[in-house]
Amino acid sequence: MSFINKNKDHFRHPSDLTVSKVLDVARNLPAKALQLKSSAVFATGSMNVVKVSHGVHVSVARLRGVRSAEARSEAAVGLQIEGRLRGRSSAREIGGAQRTGEIHDGMLSMVGLPVESRWVVNVPAQSEFESVIIEFPLGYFRHLETVEPVFSERVLDFISNGSTVRRPMSARQKMLFAQIVAMDEAQPGHKLFAESVALSMLFEAFARNGNAVGERRPSSDSVSYALEIIEERLQAPPTIGELAKLARMSETGFKRAFSKAMGRPVGEYILSRRMELARELAGTGLPVARIASDVGYATPEAFSKAFQRHFGVSPRQYQDRNNRA
């Protein structure tokens, strides 16, 4: 297999092309366009890689499968967090724990890698995918232990156990990945920005790790617990009945407690949070149709009407004003 940039420079390897080798080459290429080849091209697209402090890498990959194919991938020891923004693919580990899994659009994947491992990745023919991948080497968490020992221990346990989590992204996680996609590498300080977003994603991911809705017991503060559930499900908000059940309260008691704590009814609060997220996403320059989908509206038209009612301007008008500012 070989890696080719748009100037047709070839980088050949004695064995299957691996993700780590692609990244090593991509970091040193002035051109970001790429093709992945074996006997014939099976994927084309681009990969942008930003290396920040302590060996952390933030990558944005956009590929289109030309034909169905499998490629081998090497993974270094540490933690990998991936947000799949579009498309799907599957992977299986060679040897080791022999883990398998599929990731599709709107999913978050976290993989703990206690040893170097090899994977076989399958990308369907005529498919497109866009992913943001954040790689944290093991040494990063050794460094983090000096300032965040409890958190670091939790992450190191996740890595040493070879744990894997795949689940739908929360609204907050989607926003963070969108910020990385929209990042301008020509701007001074973009590496600091990438590192800050990567750290936010790390803490956000582990704040929710193992906390799938319905799998945990509510805290003593039922409203705080309900707020966590709402944040996780802004794209498809839970009903008041669902929230009351998860908080182990009657609907009447829950609505009363929520309004007292937050100063507004549940439905009004959820709408406000969805609109605030929409405004943040609009500020990243994403297309209106994409924002509408990310905040759970069936059509861009319905979303635009709700946005204008809430903020007094349409999403496009807001983006235009933001760009001029």
Cα separation, 251 vs 227, whole angstroms: 15
pLDDT at 40: 44
Domain boundaries, the chain: 2-207, 222-324
Three-state secondary-structure class, residue 151: helix
CA–chain centroid gap for 305, Å, is 28
Residues 6 or more apart whose CB falls under 8 angstroms from that of 95 comprise: 117, 118
Looking at residue 211, its pLDDT comes to 39
Q: Which helix (H) or strand (E) holds 37?
A: strand 33-37
Gap between the Cα atoms of 132 and 304, Å rounded: 27
- Indicate the pairing of strand 10-12 with strand 2-4: antiparallel
pLDDT at 295: 87
The structural architecture, per CATH, of the domain 2-207 is Sandwich (2.60)
Query: How far apart, in Å, are the Cα atoms of 7 and each of 11, 31, 34, 37, 216?
Result: 12, 8, 9, 15, 53
Fold of 222-324: Arc Repressor Mutant, subunit A (1.10.10)
Give the global pTM: 0.58
Diameter over CA atoms, the chain: 67
Phi, psi of 187 (to 5 degrees): -80, 135
- Residue with tokens 């497109």, as numbered in its chain: 128
Considering only CA atoms, which of 147, 196, 182, 209 is closest in space to residue 322?
182
Cβ-contact 75, 20 below 8 angstroms:
yes
CA distances 235 to 157, 256, 277, Å, are 31, 24, 10
> What are the C-alpha distances in Å from 219 to residues 55, 210, 248?
37, 15, 10
Other residues' Cβ atoms within 10 Å of the Cβ of residue 188: 8
pLDDT tens, position by position, for the chain (325 residues)?
223 333 333 323 323 333 444 444 444 443 344 444 434 444 566 778 888 888 899 988 887 765 555 555 566 788 999 988 888 777 778 766 677 777 777 888 888 888 877 777 776 766 777 889 999 998 888 888 888 888 888 888 888 888 887 777 877 788 888 888 888 888 888 889 889 989 988 888 886 554 333 333 333 367 877 887 887 778 788 899 989 888 888 899 899 988 888 889 999 999 998 998 898 888 888 899 989 988 889 899 999 999 999 999 999 999 988 877 6
Write down the pLDDT at residue 158. 86
Question: At which residue do the structure tokens 């669902």 appear?
Answer: 242
- Written as one letter, the residue type at 211 is N
Contact 218, 246 (CB under 8 A): yes
The DSSP symbol for 238 reads P
Whether the domain at 2-207 and the domain at 222-324 fall into the same CATH topology: no
What's the confidence (pLDDT) of residue 316?
93
Find where tokens 């300032």 sit: 147
Q: What is the pLDDT of residue 96?
A: 67
pLDDT for the residue 22:
40
